[in-house]
């Protein structure tokens, strides 16, 4: 069901000269320009030092990319809770990690142990980025299933009409809506061969009806409009989506894949 498209994409983009394996999360302190008795000058000096460190790292990475003929643009970097490990946001690609000396890139998951649950250290950083992405989405570019009555929650779900588990989740939409959950579908075809169907759905006058037909295996007319499917697919890659369904809350947190209405509500209320 789940295709690891994002890992393949970044591995190809960063070329065979680099071996990537890891992930990230950040604990970024809030900058305060006002110095008081409880905010010593050393704190401001520490902020300046950190900014200089990040700038040097960006310059170092850009130099390595250029030397290795890697076409990767750095949007921003942030320190993680792991000493000397930075989260690197790359344009058009999934985020990776870099060591503070810029000698090593890591793609994958860096997990924190010691608690009752294992935690991916990049979750908070990526969620903050995802929240901005969702806030910028236009509702008219999505397929929306409004909640019955007052909406208690809104979820964004990356979906594909060819995905069996998306079909199962879709069957729970009426119950989700009745429980006060508004569902917003984002197109994420799992392969090039599925792109035309999703484009046809998004170009239909009634997207909900077209999606139902596509899920049932009915043929749809070819797409005849400018549509956001390709952009939404790329957006998912940037966020680290690697399969469908992928469910996110409005805070940008990935909360799971297939689940029933009761399971989803429990997760959202948690």
Q: What is the mean pLDDT of residues 26-52?
A: 55
**Chain segment 70-121, per-residue pLDDT in tens:** 899 999 999 999 999 999 999 888 899 999 999 999 998 899 999 888 889 9
Q: What is the pTM of this model?
A: 0.76
* HEC string for 84-141: CEEEEEECCCCCEEEECCCCCEECCCCEECCCCCCEECCHHHHHHHHHHHHHHCCHHH
Q: What is the mean pLDDT of residues 203-218?
A: 96
The enclosing domain of 15 has a CATH number of 3.10.450.70
Q: What is the DSSP string of 42-53?
A: HHHHHHHHHHHH
The number of domains in the chain is 2
The enclosing domain of 251 has a CATH number of 3.40.30.10
Task: Show the domain range for 216.
Answer: 130-269
| 148 and 40 in a common domain | no
Tokens 């035309």: give the residue.
Answer: 196
- Residue 1 in this model has a pLDDT that exceeds 50: no
| pLDDT value of position 73 | 92
Question: How do beta strands 105-106 and 96-99 pair?
Answer: antiparallel
| 175 and 103 in a common domain | no
**Chain segment 142-159, per-residue pLDDT in tens:** 999 999 999 999 999 999
């Amino acid at each position: 069901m789940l295709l690891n498209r994002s890992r393949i994409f970044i591995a190809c983009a960063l070329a065979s000269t680099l071996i990537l394996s890891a992930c990230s999360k950040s604990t970024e302190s809030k900058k305060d320009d006002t110095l008081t008795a409880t905010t010593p000058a050393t704190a401001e000096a520490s902020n300046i030092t950190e900014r200089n460190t990040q700038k040097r790292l960006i310059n170092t990475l850009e130099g390595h990319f250029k030397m290795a003929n890697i076409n990767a643009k750095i949007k921003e970097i942030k320190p993680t809770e792991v000493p000397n490990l930075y989260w690197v946001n790359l344009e058009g690609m999934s985020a990776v990690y870099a060591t503070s000396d810029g000698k090593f890139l890591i793609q994958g998951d860096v997990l924190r142990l010691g608690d009752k649950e294992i935690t991916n250290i990049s979750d908070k950083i990526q969620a903050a980025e995802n929240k901005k992405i969702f806030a910028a989405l236009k509702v008219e570019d999505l397929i929306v299933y409004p909640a019955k009555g007052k909406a208690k929650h809104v979820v964004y779900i990356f979906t594909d009409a060819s995905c069996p588990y998306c079909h199962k989740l879709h069957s729970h939409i009426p119950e989700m809506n009745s429980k006060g959950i508004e569902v917003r579908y984002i197109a994420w075809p799992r392969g090039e061969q599925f792109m035309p169907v999703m484009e046809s759905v998004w170009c239909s006058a009634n997207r909900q009806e077209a999606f139902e037909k596509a899920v049932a295996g009915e043929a749809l007319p070819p797409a005849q409009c400018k549509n956001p499917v390709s952009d939404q697919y790329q957006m998912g890659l940037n966020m680290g989506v690697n399969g469908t369904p992928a469910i996110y809350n409005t805070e940008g947190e990935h909360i799971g894949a297939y689940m029933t209405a009761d399971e989803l509500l429990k997760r959202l209320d948690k």
